[in-house]
C-alpha cells in the first residue's frame, strides 16, 4: 500500500476506511474521505493532512486526534497517557474542540513556526491569557 510516507511494510485495518500504516521511515493513520466525513469532526478533518481523497495523521502527534475521537478502534494496549500527551501538541485542534490548551506548548511551538500557523497560534494564545 502506498502512503504519504512511502510504501507500507505494515498495515492494520482499524475500521473500514481507517488504516494504521508503517513504512521503514514513518507512518500514521489514513482515513478515507467516506470514513472521515462520517466519523471525524470538522476540526479533526482540518487537522489532517490531505492524502488522496481523505486525510493522513502522522504517527508522532496527529494520530492522537483520531484516537481522541475514536479510542474504541485502537488496540487495548494503546497508551492513553501517550495519546493525551501527543494531543497536547495539536493546539489548533484542541482549541477548536474545547480541550485545554497550554500556553507553554504554544510558546514552544512559536519558536519554530512561521506564516499562517504562527498567526493562528498567537491568536489562540491571546484567547487563553
What is the reported pLDDT for 77? Answer: 83
For residue 82, how many other CB atoms are within 10 A of its CB?
Answer: 11
pLDDT tens digits for 58-111?
999 999 999 999 999 998 888 888 888 888 899 999 999 999 999 999 999 999
What is the rounded end-to-end Cα distance, in angstroms, of the chain? Answer: 45
pLDDT tens digits for 48-58?
999 999 999 99
What is the reported pLDDT for 82? Answer: 85
Nearest Cα neighbor of 91 from 45, 122, 54, 50 is: 122
Say if residues 68 and 100 touch (Cβ distance below 8 Å): no
Q: φ and ψ at 92, to 5 degrees?
A: -65, -40
Give the ranges where 1-129 is alpha helix by DSSP (H): 33-39, 42-47, 63-69, 80-87, 91-97, 103-110, 115-128
Residue 50's DSSP bridge partners are: 55
Amino acid at each position: 500500500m502506498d502512503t504519504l510516507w512511502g510504501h507500507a511494510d505494515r498495515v492494520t485495518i482499524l475500521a473500514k476506511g481507517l488504516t494504521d500504516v508503517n513504512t521503514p521511515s514513518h507512518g500514521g493513520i489514513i482515513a478515507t474521505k467516506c470514513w472521515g466525513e462520517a466519523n471525524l469532526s470538522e476540526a479533526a478533518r482540518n487537522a489532517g493532512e490531505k492524502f488522496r481523497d481523505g486525510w493522513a495523521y502522522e504517527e508522532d502527534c496527529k494520530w492522537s486526534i483520531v484516537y481522541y475521537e475514536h479510542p474504541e478502534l485502537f488496540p487495548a494496549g494503546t497508551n492513553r497517557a501517550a495519546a493525551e500527551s501527543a494531543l497536547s501538541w495539536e493546539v489548533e485542534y484542541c482549541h477548536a474542540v474545547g480541550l485545554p490548551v497550554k500556553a507553554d506548548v504554544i510558546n514552544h511551538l512559536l519558536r519554530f513556526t512561521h506564516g499562517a500557523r504562527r498567526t493562528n497560534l498567537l491568536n489562540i494564545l491571546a484567547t487563553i491569557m
